[in-house]
Amino acid sequence: MTKTGIQGGAGTAGPGNTGASGDATLEELERRATARRDRPSYGHDALIACDRLVRVFTTDGVEVQALQGLDLLVKEGELMALVGASGSGKSTLMNILAGLDVPTAGAARVAGRDLLAMDGGARLRYRREVVGFVWQQTARNLLPYLTAAQNVALPMQLRGRSKARRKTERAEELLAMLGITEIRDRRPHQLSGGQQQRVAIAVALANDPAVLLADEPTGELDSATGEQVFAAFRRANEELGTTIVIVTHDQAVASEVRRTVAIRDGRTSSEVLRRTEVDEQGRESLVAREYAMLDRAGRLQLPAEYTQALGMEHRVALELEQDHIGVWPDDADRR
């Protein structure tokens, strides 16, 4: 372990700067201050940026902290999954991102909109134009007395910008892209659950939103149908470039996206990233790696299996090495 390693980063050794800040020239201190000030803000290049989001519900005087300082960044064009036990805060987060609910504290920005600062009108435009939403309950996504094609055209009518012919064309295009042209004139009760969800995706995409949010969209479907619905999300992501966040319990869905973020107790706790590797024989395989989340204060949650295996409690010893940080059980009493 080297002591200078800890100071790292900020100071490049040069004349008048031997590493210790006491020796730095005024010029060097100014340069450092400027560098700190010009540093881009958290999540500046992300399409979705949640920064220490808190949502507290109070019912009958009892407080529930559904989100407890949740950080999440999603890049433009990503297709990612959110997983987590029931009650971990997934729907609370989705409702906030959908503009249906307002966080108690923290910051949330989607496609340049500050979700805590929107007034009623801005919120309505946000829901109509910036985000699309697919719910788990298939019946909640569609109006029962309209055909599939009419359901898809409706958000465009509510927005009221394009010509009637253009709306019909766009509805047809979306239905074709999702492989459901043949059911265009049927009403929801004449459709299977999987077909309804695919129509719901088309409805959510009608106004070409920057973000498509889906809360357990395959939750009421069998696995084969769920796979078809997931394929429709993938299609939308690939063909239209729409950024998509899917909450799911479905392991098959979670393992088909490049990035899965796990939520625990109202915070993001870990992330699995998958990438395709090609070996020397040209064989492709999917490699998954799990990462722990480091929050902005530098806090890290160690997996319970790891800490229990080594009997770690309360206090651990840390050591900075060249390319990693070692975590050791507390040995203070033994020294």
Minimum CB distance to ligand ADP, residue 262 (Å): 11
Minimum CB distance to Mg ion, residue 116 (Å): 22
> How many residues sit close enough to ligand ADP to count as binding (CB under 6 A)?
12
| Distance from C-alpha of 60 to C-alpha of 38, rounded to nearest angstrom | 46
The stretch among 36-44, 85-93, 228-236, 248-256 that binds Mg ion (CB under 5 A) is 85-93
- Rounded to 5 degrees, what are φ and ψ at 271? -140, 140
Minimum CB distance to ligand ADP, residue 94 (Å): 8
The stretch among 84-92, 168-176, 191-199, 229-237 that binds Mg ion (CB under 5 A) is 84-92
One of 21, 35, 57, 117 touching ligand ADP (CB under 6 A): 57
> How many residues sit close enough to Mg ion to count as binding (CB under 5 A)?
1
Q: Does 218 bind ligand ADP (CB under 6 A)?
A: no
| Distance from C-alpha of 273 to C-alpha of 261, rounded to nearest angstrom | 9
Task: State the Cα angle at 82 between 76 and 85, rounded to 5°.
Answer: 165
Q: Does 64 bind ligand ADP (CB under 6 A)?
A: yes
Q: By C-alpha distance, which of 33, 82, 32 is closest to 246? A: 82
DSSP string, 77-138: T-EEEEE--TTSSHHHHHHHHTTSS--SEEEEEETTEETTT--HHHHHHIIIIIEEEE-SSH
Coil, helix or strand at residue 272 = strand
Site string for ligand ADP, 71-110 (x = CB under 6 A): -------------x-xxxxxxx------------------
Q: Does 285 bind ligand ADP (CB under 6 A)?
A: no
Nearer to Mg ion, 202 or 254 (CB): 254
Distance from CA of residue 103 to its chain's centroid?
Answer: 16
Q: Does 62 bind ligand ADP (CB under 6 A)?
A: no
Phi-psi region of 73 (alpha: psi -120 to 50; beta: other; left: phi over 0): beta
Q: Does 267 bind ligand ADP (CB under 6 A)?
A: no
The one-character DSSP state at 11 is: P
Q: Does 66 bind ligand ADP (CB under 6 A)?
A: yes
Do the Cβ atoms of 274 and 258 come closer than 8 Å? yes
Minimum CB distance to Mg ion, residue 137 (Å): 11
Q: Does 59 bind ligand ADP (CB under 6 A)?
A: yes
The stretch among 34-42, 56-64, 161-169, 186-194 that binds ligand ADP (CB under 6 A) is 56-64
One of 17, 88, 91, 207 touching Mg ion (CB under 5 A): 91
Q: Which two tokens stand for residue 1?
A: 């372990």
| Distance from C-alpha of 276 to C-alpha of 138, rounded to nearest angstrom | 33
> Which residues contribute to the site for ligand ADP (CB under 6 A)?
57, 59, 64, 66, 84, 86-92
> Which residues contribute to the site for Mg ion (CB under 5 A)?
91
